[in-house]
């Protein structure tokens, strides 16, 4: 029973740490709306409070390029792994 309690306490502490981390990550993306001054996230194109136009940061065209490169790299790695698996299977079969 005591062990279970300890485990639960540890888990709660971990969850708390994780929540704190998430909060900090979120705070980095909070900017104030130029129209009403309320806190909005930097990727939003429209303020949820005053519906004013916002200029999205962080997720702009630059990141789209990065995303494409990341996708190409991911596919290349997966392709290389697939080839390696086929080669290994061929070697094992012989």
For residue 48, state whether it binds Zn ion (rule: CB under 5 A): no
Instruction: Determine, following the binding rule CB under 5 A, whether residue 54 of this chain makes contact with Zn ion.
Output: no
Name every residue whose Cβ is closer than 8 Å to that of residue 46 and which is 6 or more positions away in sequence.
52, 53, 54
Residue 44 interacts with Zn ion (CB under 5 A)? no
Q: Which of 29, 50, 56, 59 binds Zn ion (CB under 5 A)?
A: 50
79 binding Zn ion? (CB under 5 A) = no
* 75 is a contact residue toward Zn ion (CB under 5 A): no
Cα separations (Å) of 19 from 14, 31, 38, 94? 9, 20, 23, 53
Q: State the Cα–Cα distance between residues 18 and 20, nearest whole angstrom.
A: 5
Which residues bind to Zn ion, rule: CB under 5 A?
Answer: 33, 35-36, 47, 49-50, 52
């Amino acid at each position: 029973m005591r062990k279970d309690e300890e485990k639960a306490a540890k888990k709660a502490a971990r969850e708390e740490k994780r929540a704190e981390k998430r909060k900090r990550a979120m705070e980095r993306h909070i900017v104030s709306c130029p129209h009403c001054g309320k806190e909005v996230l930097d990727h939003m194109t429209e303020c949820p409070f005053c519906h004013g136009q916002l200029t999205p940061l962080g997720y702009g065209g630059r990141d789209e390029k990065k995303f494409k490169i990341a996708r190409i790299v991911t596919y290349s790695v997966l392709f290389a792994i697939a080839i390696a698996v086929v080669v290994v299977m061929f070697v094992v079969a012989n």
